């Protein structure tokens, strides 16, 4: 097991929002095994602030120093003003030493109007990590790799022949990384060739999925499922970045592009035709992975209020082959399936829903708030109910956290107090009026007299009416 790296975070008290950003980053690092030294936590009344700063920079047990650089930090560092100026005077000679080039890194949280990073002069020649909003999900992994000394790219040993002639395969993530970047860049630039790059990227994700098949003879299969899902996280984060760019570009083709992608991903959740001996959980890793990718697709379209695109996407049906090898069209509910392996493992770990826990924990590195993931789950839950039982159900696993952490309402429903806003949202939910929403919501109950059961976790359930803010919907012009 790797030793927990100890890191100090240097930053400017630019404003309360920036301070909150830094604290959130520090908390996410701690959750990922990093021992973070932060003035908010470690500098108390009576302490010598300058001595604290100096010890954090020069202490050999502090193996890494993160410099969160925004406009204010760069200005204070260059002018040697305040605590930032003091830290800069301490750090500058340390950084210029030739002995250690890996102790310091700049994390850029803000760029100028030209997209250039704000960096103090003593850092301008050094490689930095871009943690602005559009890069946060992918580059949080880069930051963790730097802290743990686990770089993405490692020089391979010299072989007897070129790598492309050998039988070994590169890690699955290498199949998608470059193509994901090209697709995102093309979307952000409005390139006329973006469709080509998108197709190439999504093809690479499907190809990578094939590398994530778990050997059926794994000694601890439930744990193998968890390990496999964890290994997929970098590809998941690339997909999140792609969806952010795709949602901003708002191409009318996006619903069909996503439909065809998920049609190719869904078969991974089922038994391959060549397999005759199997257990019912042999493809649980894909059940989680495909469901999570779908959930983030919906969450991001909701985040950017692409209601028309989302309505078109959810209205599409998916071409699948059922258990009897019959070709058929299914609604989006085909994507959410039960995971027996996680149920067993969750019981061992005494968790109400290990699947919900995974969704919550994995949201921390996505750049998407977990409330937005739950919001997507809730919208899909309501939409599935509006379709009727013959189209299947959608069990909103993540809403476990709405029973004790998040009480609602979700943002899109809170904003729906505006009649015009609500009118845009209704097709997504599958209703046409406030009365329809009221009827849909009030039909849910714990014992399901109308076959609409509230999701339950032992004795806890959600308040659907509150989450949907039914009383305030369409209450203002």
Instruction: Convert the pLDDT of each residue in 334-375 to its tens digit.
Output: 999 999 888 877 888 888 899 999 999 999 989 999 999 999
Give yes or no for a contact between 27 and 65, defined as CB atoms under 8 angstroms apart: no
Structure letter (DSSP) for residue 253 = T
- 161 pLDDT band, cuts 50/70/90, is very low
Cα dist from 84 to 41, 73, 79, 122, 321, whole Å: 17, 7, 10, 13, 61
Among the four given CATH numbers 3.40.50.2300, 3.40.50.10140, 3.40.50.720, 3.40.190.10, the one describing domain 6-148:
3.40.50.10140
Cα dist from 143 to 26, 135, 168, whole Å: 12, 12, 28
- What confidence score (pLDDT) does residue 180 get? 95
Q: Is the pLDDT of residue 99 over 80?
A: no
Q: Where in the chain is the domain with CATH 3.40.50.10140?
A: 6-148
Structure letter (DSSP) for residue 277 = S
Q: Name, in order, each residue with C-beta under 8 angstroms of 439's C-beta and a sequence gap of 6 or more.
A: none
Q: Name, in order, each residue with C-beta under 8 angstroms of 317's C-beta and a sequence gap of 6 or more.
A: 329, 330, 331
Instruction: Convert the pLDDT of each residue in 132-144 to its tens digit.
Output: 888 888 899 999 9
Work out the average pLDDT over 296-325: 92
Distance CA 212, CA 4 (A): 28
Q: What is the mean pLDDT of the chain?
A: 86
Smallest CA-to-CA distance from 420 within 475, 372, 374 is with: 475
- What confidence score (pLDDT) does residue 395 get? 94
Instruction: Convert the pLDDT of each residue in 218-270 to its tens digit.
Output: 778 888 898 889 889 999 999 999 999 999 998 999 999 999 999 999 999 98
Q: If you write DSSP's letter for every residue of 135-197 in order, what string do you get?
A: GHHHHHHHHHHHHHT--S--PPPP-SS-GGGSS----HHHHHHHHHHHHHHHHHHT-TTHHHH
Does this model's pTM top 0.75?
Answer: no
Smallest CA-to-CA distance from 321 within 257, 239, 266, 400 is with: 266
- 453 pLDDT band, cuts 50/70/90, is confident
């Amino acid at each position: 097991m790797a030793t927990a790296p100890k890191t100090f975070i240097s930053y400017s008290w630019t404003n309360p929002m920036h301070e909150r950003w830094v604290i959130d980053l520090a908390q996410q690092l701690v959750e990922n095994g990093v021992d973070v030294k932060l003035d908010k936590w470690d500098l108390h009344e009576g302490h010598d602030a300058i001595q604290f700063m100096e010890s954090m920079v020069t202490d050999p047990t502090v193996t890494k120093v993160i410099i969160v650089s925004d406009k204010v930090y760069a200005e204070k560092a260059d002018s040697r003003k305040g605590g930032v100026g003091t830290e800069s005077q301490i750090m500058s000679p340390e950084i210029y030493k030739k002995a250690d080039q890996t102790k310091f890194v700049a994390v850029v949280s803000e760029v100028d109007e030209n997209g250039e990073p704000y960096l103090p002069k003593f850092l301008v020649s050094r490689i930095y990590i871009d943690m602005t909003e559009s890069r946060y999900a992918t580059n949080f992994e880069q930051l963790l790799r730097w802290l743990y000394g686990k770089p993405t790219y490692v020089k391979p040993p010299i072989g007897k022949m070129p790598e492309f002639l050998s039988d070994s395969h590169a890690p699955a993530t290498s199949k998608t990384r470059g193509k994901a970047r090209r697709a995102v860049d093309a979307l952000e630039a409005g390139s006329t060739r973006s469709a080509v790059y998108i197709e190439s990227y999504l093809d690479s994700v499907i190809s990578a999925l094939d590398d994530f098949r778990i050997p059926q003879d794994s000694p601890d299969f439930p744990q193998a499922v968890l390990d496999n899902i964890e290994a997929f996280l970098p590809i998941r984060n690339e997909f999140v970045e792609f969806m952010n760019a795709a949602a901003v570009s708002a191409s009318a083709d996006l619903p069909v592009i996503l439909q065809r992608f998920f049609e190719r991903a869904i078969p991974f959740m089922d038994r391959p035709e060549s397999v005759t001996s199997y257990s019912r959980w042999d493809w649980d890793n894909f059940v989680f992975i495909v469901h999570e990718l779908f959930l983030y697709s919906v969450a991001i379209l909701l985040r950017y209020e692409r209601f028309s695109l989302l309505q078109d996407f959810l209205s599409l049906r998916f071409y699948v082959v059922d258990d009897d090898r019959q070709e058929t069209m299914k609604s989006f509910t085909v994507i959410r399936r039960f995971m027996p392996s996680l149920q067993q493992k969750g019981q061992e770990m005494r968790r109400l829903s290990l699947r919900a826990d995974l969704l919550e924990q994995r949201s921390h590195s996505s750049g998407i708030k977990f409330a937005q993931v739950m919001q997507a789950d809730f919208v899909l839950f309501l939409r599935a109910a509006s379709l009727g039982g013959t189209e299947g159900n959608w069990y909103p696993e993540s809403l476990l956290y709405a029973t004790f952490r998040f009480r609602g309402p979700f943002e899109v429903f809170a904003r729906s107090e505006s009649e015009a806003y609500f009118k845009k949202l209704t097709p997504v939910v599958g209703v046409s009026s406030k009365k329809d929403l009221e009827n849909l919501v009030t039909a849910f109950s714990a014992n399901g007299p109308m076959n609409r059961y509230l999701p339950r976790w032992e004795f806890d359930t959600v308040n659907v009416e509150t989450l949907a803010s039914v009383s305030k919907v369409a209450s203002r012009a």
